Amino acid sequence: MPNFFLVVIIVLSFIFYLFYKVQYVRSRRPMERKWLSAKSSMVLGLFVGMFGVNTLLIQQTMTAYIVAAIFILYGFASMIAGFKMYKHYLPFARQEAEELDR
C-alpha cells in the first residue's frame, strides 16, 4: 500500500511539471518565466526523488540501490536548487507583474 501513495505523488508531480512548463511557454514576462522554471524544477526534482524511493522499495538488488540513491540525491538536490531559485525570483516576478498591471 505505501507504493500506491508514492505512485500518486509521482504522477501528480509529473502533472504539475507539465502544467508549469506550459505556463512557462505561454508567459512573455522574463522574471515570471524564471520563477515558473524554478517551480517546475522543484516538482521535477520531487518526481525524480520519489521515483528513486519507489525503485528502492520495489527492487532489492545492489544495482537498484545504487540507481535509487542517484535518483534520490539528484531529485532532492534539484528540489533544493529550485526552491532557492524560487525564493530569489519571487520578488522580481511580483514587481514585474505590478509594473505591467498598472
Record the pTM.
0.88
pLDDT of 101 higher than 80: no
Residues 21-39: b if buried by 16+ CB within 10 A, e if exposed: bebbeebeeebbbbbbbbb
pLDDT confidence band for 99 (50 / 70 / 90): confident
DSSP state, residue 60:
-
